[in-house]
């Protein structure tokens, strides 16, 4: 692959094995999937662990890690990390099974991908006042699946070893083990072990956080190397850690996801109207009226200042920068809010950390199919047949939307809500304010503590790749302070390199959008390069590059018709010996990233 063009149908011959880990430290039905391409070479075996990004199902990393791994002849060990697009249609009482087919919850029983923990009378009572509602696995499992993301990644690797030994191992003397499906039911001699098989863990976003967390759960040292791309990771931050850019300390760093995502949810709708960014923000669908009303609500609450909406919006933008967002990501606040990223993520994690039931309607939110006016209603197109394959696990997705239960004009789709406290259609200020306040809730605090990592990679060679313009997972709260924390924990024994890429942001799927195309480059290109570098390091001992800033060149041109991206013009290599002005340094926990 080596960064080359791999377009085409993408079909790769091989075998696939799907299973549930029924109970991973209390998290039920964690999906594991192993793909073994026909190009797999038993004489040179490799396994690539690929936990899903976001809250997606088990195939969530197939377009990133999976593609690379299969084209390199490696078995791929996927997991949904206990999240996944498991949905429960409470109205019809249907759920998805492990393969995406549908069943009633009663018939599925413990084999349901996910089913809300409700008795028949409880479900009926809830539907009596809340028809057409849905429960989603990440939000409503009654657990905090993020706490086992690392362990689930290790379990996926263990499952891959089992599959490979069953597929390639020689039959041992003795009786058959019982009835098996897809695998030989006789005991096999182990051919592949951690001593003779290269194992890399690599993924993006939540999956990137999972592979870093896996280092702390990999007590058997199955994983040889790690590539984490734009990792969403929560840190047990040591007070000695500091982060600077160009020698100047950043305003805030190392905050947990729930802190910065609920902050974004509160401020972005107003900040999107700031004159300094409004006209250049790509895909800015923030309503001037609703966004202006959010500015009014924030001003009246004493959270921002200003007399005019323009002044208030600039104040909101300044608040986001002070809370750790880089100026490089300013132009993305509008589009991210337009796509309801922050509201959806804030609510999902609030429910997960608090272990709330669907019937609790935490912060007066629910999830439902809605009609053209935004009211809960029977769906025009049933979302259940495609939920397992197309839903990303976090509404709004596949016709399932967030609903503001407490709105004066509600229940109604969350963006249309008129807040009871303000009397304004202000993008549901009441809901955003409530979610933000849960940062001080004891149960939420406990949930956040459960998912924090120590920064200990166990001496494993690791590459972290992150876009400086990332608006969803800001570098100041994740990759930069992780480098400092790891430095404190492992010191001179650390084998971590951090690659920060300019003009790169979180959502590759947005790159075709006008304004995204001309301003941002594909971080996925550098993810593939990082996996190439790690593979060469593990197989041949080729040194990993030092921590550095990779300075890319945007495509430019007219938004919507930007010129084609090229390696020569836009995408410089990760340098084996970068210029001094591009070196990222870390010493005694103090990280300095060049400007």
Residue 18, domain member (yes or no) = no
Asked if 371 and 427 sit in the same domain, the reply is yes
Residue 106, domain member (yes or no) = no
Asked if 470 and 546 sit in the same domain, the reply is yes
Task: Assess whether pLDDT exceeds 80 at residue 9.
Answer: no
The predicted pLDDT at position 11 comes to 84
Asked if 382 and 531 sit in the same domain, the reply is no
The predicted pLDDT at position 5 comes to 52
What is the pLDDT confidence band of residue 170, given thresholds at 50, 70 and 90? Answer: confident
**Mean pLDDT on 62-68:** 94
Task: Assess whether pLDDT exceeds 90 at residue 270.
Answer: yes
Residue where a domain terminates, one of 446, 479, 497 = 446
Asked if 439 and 469 sit in the same domain, the reply is no
Residue where a domain terminates, one of 446, 476, 504 = 446
Residue where a domain terminates, one of 396, 418, 446 = 446
Task: Assess whether pLDDT exceeds 90 at residue 394.
Answer: yes
The predicted pLDDT at position 188 comes to 74
Asked if 489 and 595 sit in the same domain, the reply is yes
Q: Where are the alpha helices (DSSP H) in 236-358?
A: 257-271, 288-300, 309-322, 333-338, 341-354
Q: Say how far apart CA 444 and CA 448 lie, in whole Å.
A: 6
Nearest CA-CA partner of 349 in 11, 548, 54 = 54
Active site residues: 205
Beta bridge partners of 133: 368
Nearest CA-CA partner of 486 in 235, 151, 210 = 235
What is the pLDDT confidence band of residue 185, given thresholds at 50, 70 and 90? Answer: low
What are the angstrom distances between the C-alpha of 449 and each of 108, 208, 488?
A: 33, 19, 20
Asked if 542 and 574 sit in the same domain, the reply is yes
The predicted pLDDT at position 353 comes to 98
Nearest CA-CA partner of 87 in 358, 406, 403, 453 = 358
Residue 392, domain member (yes or no) = yes
Number of compact structural domains in the chain = 2
What is the pLDDT confidence band of residue 171, given thresholds at 50, 70 and 90? Answer: confident
Question: What DSSP character marks residue 453?
Answer: B
**Mean pLDDT on 525-548:** 98
Asked if 425 and 490 sit in the same domain, the reply is no
What is the pLDDT confidence band of residue 1, given thresholds at 50, 70 and 90? Answer: very low
Residue 45, domain member (yes or no) = no
The predicted pLDDT at position 3 comes to 44
CA 262 to chain centroid? 16
Residue 341, domain member (yes or no) = yes
Q: Say how far apart CA 76 and CA 49 lie, in whole Å.
A: 6
Asked if 412 and 476 sit in the same domain, the reply is no
Beta-carbon count within 10 A of 495 CB: 17
**Mean pLDDT on 155-184:** 78
Q: What is the mean pLDDT of the chain?
A: 95
Task: Assess whether pLDDT exceeds 50 at residue 519.
Answer: yes
Model-wide pTM > 0.75:
yes
Task: Assess whether pLDDT exceeds 90 at residue 388.
Answer: yes
Asked if 409 and 532 sit in the same domain, the reply is no
Task: Assess whether pLDDT exceeds 80 at residue 464.
Answer: yes
Asked if 310 and 285 sit in the same domain, the reply is yes
Asked if 504 and 433 sit in the same domain, the reply is no
The predicted pLDDT at position 107 comes to 97
Asked if 585 and 481 sit in the same domain, the reply is yes
Q: Which domain holds residue 561?
A: 463-595
For a pLDDT cut of 70, what percent of the chain falls above it? 96
């Amino acid at each position: 692959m080596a960064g080359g063009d791999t377009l085409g149908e993408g079909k790769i011959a091989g075998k696939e094995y799907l299973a549930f880990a029924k109970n991973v430290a209390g998290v039920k039905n964690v999906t594991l999937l192993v793909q073994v391409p026909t190009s797999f070479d038993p004489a040179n075996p490799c396994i690539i662990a690929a936990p899903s990004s976001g809250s997606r199902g088990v195939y969530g990393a197939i377009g990133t890690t999976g593609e690379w791994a299969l084209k390199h002849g490696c078995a791929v060990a996927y997991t949904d990390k206990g999240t996944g697009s498991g949905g429960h249609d409470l109205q019809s009482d249907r759920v998805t099974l492990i393969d995406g087919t549908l069943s009633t919850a009663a018939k599925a029983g413990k084999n349901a991908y996910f089913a809300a923990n409700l008795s028949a009378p409880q479900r009926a009572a809830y539907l009596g006042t809340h028809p057409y509602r849905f429960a989603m696995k990440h939000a409503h499992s009654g657990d905090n699946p993020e706490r086992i993301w690392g362990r689930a990644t290790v379990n996926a690797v263990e499952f891959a070893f089992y599959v490979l030994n069953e597929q390639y191992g020689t039959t041992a003397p003795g009786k058959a083990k019982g009835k098996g499906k897809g695998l030989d039911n006789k005991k096999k001699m182990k051919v592949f072990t951690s001593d003779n098989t290269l194992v890399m863990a690599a993924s993006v976003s939540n999956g990137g956080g999972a592979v870093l967390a896996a280092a702390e759960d990999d007590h058997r040292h199955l994983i040889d190397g790690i590539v984490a791309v734009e990792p969403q990771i929560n840190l047990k931050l040591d007070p000695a850690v500091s982060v600077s850019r160009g020698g100047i300390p950043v305003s805030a760093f190392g905050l947990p996801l729930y802190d910065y995502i609920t902050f974004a949810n509160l401020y972005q709708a107003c900040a999107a109207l700031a004159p300094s960014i409004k006209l250049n923000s790509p895909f800015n669908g923030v309503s001037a009226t609703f966004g202006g009303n959010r500015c009014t609500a924030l001003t009246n609450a004493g959270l921002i200042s200003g007399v005019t909406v323009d002044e208030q919006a600039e104040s909101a933008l300044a608040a986001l920068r002070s809370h750790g967002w880089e100026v490089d990501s300013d132009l993305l606040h509008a589009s991210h809010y337009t796509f309801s990223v922050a509201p959806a993520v804030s609510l999902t994690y609030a429910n997960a950390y608090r272990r709330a039931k669907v019937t609790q309607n935490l912060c007066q939110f629910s999830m439902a199919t809605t009609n053209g006016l935004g009211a809960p209603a029977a769906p025009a197109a049933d979302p259940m047949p495609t939920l397992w394959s197309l839903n990303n696990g976090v509404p709004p997705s596949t016709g399932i939307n967030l609903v503001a239960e407490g709105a004066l004009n509600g229940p109604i789709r969350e963006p249309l809500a008129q807040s009871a406290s303000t009397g304004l259609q202000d993008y549901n200020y009441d809901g955003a304010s409530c979610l933000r306040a849960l940062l001080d809730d004891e149960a939420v605090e406990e949930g956040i503590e459960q998912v924090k990592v120590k920064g200990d990679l166990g001496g494993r060679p690791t590459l972290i790749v992150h876009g400086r313009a990332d608006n969803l997972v800001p570098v100041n709260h994740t990759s930069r302070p992780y480098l400092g924390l790891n430095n404190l924990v492992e010191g001179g024994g650390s084998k971590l390199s951090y690659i920060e890429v300019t003009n790169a942001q979180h959502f590759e799927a947005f790159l075709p959008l006008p304004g995204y195309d001309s301003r941002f480059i594909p971080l996925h290109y550098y993810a593939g390069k990082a996996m190439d570098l790690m593979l060469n390091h593990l197989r041949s001992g080729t040194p990993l590059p030092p921590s550095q800033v990779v300075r890319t060149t945007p495509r430019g041109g007219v938004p919507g018709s930007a010129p084609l991206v090229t390696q020569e013009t836009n995408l410089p290599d990760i340098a084996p010996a970068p210029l001094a002005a591009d070196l990222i340094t870390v010493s005694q926990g103090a990280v300095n990233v060049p400007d």
